[in-house]
Each structure stands twice: as C-alpha cells, then as structure tokens.
Amino acid sequence: MKLWVSALLMAWFGVLSCVQAEFFTSIGHMTDLIYAEKELVQSLKEYILVEEAKLSKIKSWANKMEALTSKSAADAEGYLAHPVNAYKLVKRLNTDWPALEDLVLQDSAAGFIANLSVQRQFFPTDEDEIGAAKALMRLQDTYRLDPDTISRGELPGTKYQAMLSVDDCFGMGRSAYNEGDYYHTVLWMEQVLKQLDAGEEATTTKSQVLDYLSYAVFQLGDLHRALELTRRLLSLDPSHERAGGNLRYFEQLLEEEREKMLSNQTEAELATPEGIYERPVDYLPERDVYESLCRGEGVKLTPRRQKRLFCRYHHGNRAPQLLIAPFKEEDEWDSPHIVRYYDVMSDEEIERIKEIAKPKLARATVRDPKTGVLTVASYRVSKSSWLEEDDDPVVARVNRRMQHITGLTVKTAELLQVANYGVGGQYEPHFDFSRNDERHTFKHLGTGNRVATFLNYVSMMCADGQSLSQGTAVFWYNLLRSGEGDYRTRHAACPVLVGCKWVSNKWFHERGQEFLRPCGLTEVD
C-alpha cells in the first residue's frame, strides 16, 4: 500500500507541480483532474479492501467466540474441569483478546488519508467552483438556456449524460448569492424547489432554499413575494430567527409603501408582477449584440455584399514556398476584409503545439491600458502560453508559414500565443490594437502597434467528437494603412458551450512592415 501511494504521489507531482488553481479557465488542465479522481477512486477501493479483510477477521473471531462461550457458559465448572480449557481461557484473555484489540484499533485508513491530504493541495479551490458556476450562468444567459435545461444536461452535441442534482442546483444558487447576483440566485433556487417538489432526494431542505430565495427577491425589489416566501419559510420552520426578523421588516416596509401611495392608486398598481425579473444591465454596452451573434443571430451579409466574396488559391505574392503548394483562401467578410485559410496546420503539428503549450498554460491576461501592466480579467476566461522558436522546430515552421502567407515579417511579431478555453470560456468584445488613449500599451516592445492578427483554430472539438474548423486560420489587419486603428475589427470569442477549444495567434507589429505594407495616402486607406 505504501509503495503504491508513493508511486501515485510521484506521478501527481509530475503532472500538477506547474498548475496553479484556476482549473476552470482551461479544459486542457481540467483533464488532469479526471485522471486524478480516477487514481483517488483506486486508492479508496484499496482502502476498502483492507477494511473488509480486517472486518472479515473480526467477524470470524466473533463467530468462533460466540460458539465457544455458548458451550462454556452452559457448564462453567464442568468446562474448566478440563485443564486444557482452563489454560486456553487464560491465554485468550491475556493474549488473544488484546491482539484483537490491536486489530480493531489498527488504522488502515492512514495511507489513503495521507495520499488524499497531499493531493488536496492540487485540487480546485473555492475560486474554481465559483468560476465554474459563473461559467454555467454565462452559458445560460448567452444561449438563453433555462436552469431546467441545464439541470437535465440537455445541451446540443453532447455525448455524455450529465445532470445536476438538487444539491448541485443549490450550490449554483448559493454561489450566485455570495457574489451578490440575486437574478441568478432566484433562477437557481426556484429550480431547486422544482426538483424537490418532484420528489428528488437531497440533503438540501426547502427551509434553506426559501431563506436564500426570499431575500434574493427582496433585493430585486419584489417585496410582496419576499413576504410570501418568508411566511412559507416560517410555516416550515417557526423557530427560524432570521426569517422572523425579516418578516417584521418586510411588513413594516410594505406598510410604509402603502402609506406613500396616492389615494387614487389601486392595490393592483402597487403590486409587482411576481416571479418576473429583468436581467441586470452590466458594464458591456453591446452585450445584447454580442450574445445574439454567439447564438448565430444578428448581422448578415446582403446578397450584394455576398457577391463580393470569393475563393482562390493564395501564393503569398508569389512567395517561392507557396508557388508549388498555395493555400486555399476564402473571403470571410468584406468590410473590414477578413480572409480564411484552410489546412494551415497539419494534425501532427496541432498535437505537437498543444503538447508543448500545455505545461506552460497560465491564466490569460490583458494589458491595463493605463499602466501597461498585465492583469487577469473576468471578461477573458482562458489559459494561454507563449511559445518561442527554440521550444520546438514546429513553432519555427508555423511562424515561417504565417510569414509566407501574410507577406509580413515575424521578426517584430509577438511570440506565438496558444490559448485553451475553460468552462464557458470566452473573450468579450475587444480590439487587438492599442487605441489613442492607450499609446503606452506596447511601448515596452519598441515595435509599434499591432498591425495585423493571424488566428489559428488549433482544435475545436465538440463533445460528439466532430472537429470544427481545425487547422484553419483567419487573418485581418487591425490598422488602416495610415496607422490609425480600424474600429470595425472589434471582435470576441463566444463562451464555449460544449467541447474543448484551442487557438493560437500571431500578432504582427508595425515596425519592419514599412515596405511590406506601405502607408496609404489618406487616413482611411
């Protein structure tokens, strides 16, 4: 057992020594948790076997002693008249029973507990659980999924069955509540009540749910429903002190509200429609447009604009490397001009890129436009790594390929960035270039602004095993030829609903491109 635990710990240290929490931001890192849990189950089963063997010995001893004492107690003097029986009685009580005591007190769980305790330092944290809960709520909002759909696991393209129990749903609601998100608190606590009413067994009680739900609806301004839910709570638990205090407070507020109403206003006008709450407006002004695009709705090209889009073979301005094997190029959008390239990376290159990137994955950051310092942000949920050409020949090969396709030099470009998105991973609408009030963003690089973006779809695997866009890439210019930012290039990465998403990108900078992409004659060229 000790040897097995030692081997397991060594393997775990090798896998997770470079990981720092925030598992929810990368599906690639979360796969390690699957194997970790499998190893823990094996460790637990070994502990159970040891316990069962121990109990089997104790049970055998008990049965043996029961038969013996039944016989000896029936005629104690006659039994002890035999000197051997007398000897064995003394021996049992002096030697055998203490040995049994040692067996009973033997802690066969020590190995498993030691194993678990060491591994726990690499387990997901409260931050991960909150992040994963927020991710499900993000998917819920973006793709207009109700809690019941998520609870039943009815997501498009899924291969495995996954359902949320009452206690899981309660955890979702509690996470929202602790974050001050009362809108989602209400949605998930109502789902908990629905599943409890359906007879599902759980450790969560209706009293617990009503406690959270009544206060959440109060925070959303629904005083009448808060009062009604609090009364329901007290009917289930009359001794609930907080509910009693809330009831008196809600009744007082309601009375004050009524007194303020004008005499010509009716009770119907006073009441708030129960159970109907608007999703709060947040910091992103284009939230509705962004989410509608993620659902496949929104902007569509007119037939006239579609006629401007073509497919062609691209040889990179007659680059020698592409003359024999040009790339398939397709116009993706007309204004700004965005093109897609097919079969940019082979399957072998993709797997190698992922292999060398995974150990380096760290929470993706954004550069503070005022300070230029890199920091994490809630609107970017992924992990990324930066690959140098010395890391592996495939990195240098892919860099050269992007240079040949675009006709731009990679000498002043940033390192190849590889990103893996986590649960509901996203990158909300943003620009790749620094704007006029962010002039110092790339000052430390000394290579000017980001002139263009080359984005490789390394892996877009859905849960049903199908690969979407893998090996393709898109390219666009972030700056006009005048050097001014092209504000039409605002883009985003939609929350990953199902599957595992890997991308890599190369940001080309202005310096070194002067003769490869000359300036225009006007500001809008």
The pLDDT of residue 6 = 37
The pLDDT of residue 468 = 59
Q: How many CA atoms lie within 13 A of 136 on its CB side?
A: 26
Contact 455, 503 (CB under 8 A): yes
**b/e 404-441 (16+ beta carbons within 10 angstroms → b):** bbbebebebbbbbbbbbbbbbbbbbbeebbbeeebeeb
CA–CA gap between residue 213 and residue 222 (Å, rounded): 11
Give average pLDDT by consecutive 10-residue segment, the chain, 525 residues: 35 41 79 88 92 94 94 90 87 90 88 83 87 93 95 84 93 96 97 96 96 96 94 95 93 86 52 71 91 89 93 87 91 95 95 94 77 74 94 97 96 96 91 86 90 91 54 96 94 90 96 92 72
| Angle (deg, nearest 10), helices 166-178 and 182-197 | 160
The pLDDT of residue 305 = 94
The pLDDT of residue 347 = 92
C-alpha dihedral (239, 240, 246, 249), degrees to nearest 10: 20
CA–CA gap between residue 411 and residue 301 (Å, rounded): 36
Q: SS3 string of 381-433? A: CEEEEEECHHHCHHHHHHHHHHHHHHCCCCCCCCCEEEEEECCCCCEEEECCC
Which residue is it, tokens 């097995």? Answer: 4
Which helix or strand (DSSP H or E) is residue 503 part of? strand 500-509
CA–CA gap between residue 153 and residue 463 (Å, rounded): 13
CA–CA gap between residue 166 and residue 476 (Å, rounded): 47
The pLDDT of residue 372 = 64
